Each structure stands twice: as structure tokens, then as C-alpha cells.
Amino acid sequence: MNQLGGVFINGRPLPNHIRLKIIELASQGVRPCVISRSLRVSHGCVSKILQRYQETGSIRPGAIGGSKPRSSRDDIEEKVDEYQQQHSGIFCWEIRDRLVRDGICERSNVPSISSIGKMMRSKTEEEDDAVQGKEKKDDGEDKEKEENREEREERIRKCQEDDEHSAEENSEGMQSL
């Protein structure tokens, strides 16, 4: 039994009929805290289901356990790098949309904007480490590398702004439910 008196099993998906009821009540304008109390489900659970419904249009629970195949993650990282090289000022949300549009990912398994930002940052760090490990050859090359690093950092800053913007949109969208 949970704190609200509901009888659910921890770590297991909420039954579909309750998920549907959450969506129905939210579409009628009932606030998540009221839904939570009336269905005896935690506020966090209600919010998570509403957010997933808003993002994917599905009420189905996510997979339990397991991990994504490493090769698909490598493919995604390569594609993110390719998009960056093609469009130096591309935003993380644009990369996310392109991954879906180009069929690399589906809407249900596309990386989050913050994950894409992390991929971009790790790539930048790898490149910076490689540059520091080698002897500096020429001032002109150093200046070019510095400019490239600054461009990458600017893209990363834009992704972080995207994350903040996306979080604001999600909270506004949740309020409209």
C-alpha cells in the first residue's frame, strides 16, 4: 500500500486502465495533484505519465531493465557529429528532430536534448584532449583549433539553452493539460 492508500507494486508499471483515467481527467482540466489524490497514485507518477503522453502520445509504460544496443548508440553519435559538421550552429533540438526525420531513431527512443548535448560535450573534450596530447606545430593551426573549440562550446551553450527552453515548454504544456 502506498502513502495515499493505493495498492500498487513498487517498480512495476501502473495498470493501463488507471493510466487512461489519468489522461481523461487531465484532458478535462483536473490538476495533477487532484488526480493523484483521487486515484491514490503519487503525484510523480501522474506527472510522469502525463509528460510521456504529451511527448509521445502513448500511455504505454517504458521498458523495464535492459539497455540499448551499443551499436545503435554509436550510430547516433556518428550522425550527431555529422549533423554538427554540416551545420556548425545547429541546435540540439534540431539534431533530435533530424534523427527522427532521417529514420535513425523513432520518437519513442530518440535521445533527449540533454543527452545530445552530452554527446557534443564529450566529443569536444575528446578533441581537446587529442590537441593537448600533441605538440603544437604552428601558431596559425593553434588559432584555428581555438576558433573551432570556441564554435563547439557555443553550440554546447545553445544546447543548454535549448534544454532550459524545452523544460519551460514542457511545464507550460503540463499546465494546459
Give tens-digit pLDDT for 127-142: 666 666 654 455 556 6
Rounded average pLDDT over 85-98: 88
Distance (Å, whole) CA 154 – CA 57: 33
Segment 91-100 shows an average pLDDT of 90
pLDDT at 158: 78
For residue range 72-91, list pLDDT tens digits in order: 777 888 888 888 888 878 88
Distance CA 125, CA 57 (A): 36
51 three-state secondary structure: helix
Residue partners of 29: CB distance under 8 A and separation at least 6: none
Between CA 11 and CA 66 the distance in angstroms is 14
pTM beyond 0.75: no
CB neighbour list of residue 58: distance below 8 Å, 6 or more residues apart: 52, 108
Q: Is 66 left (phi over 0), alpha (psi -120 to 50) or beta?
A: left
The separation between CA 92 and the C-alpha centre of its own chain, rounded to angstroms, equals: 10
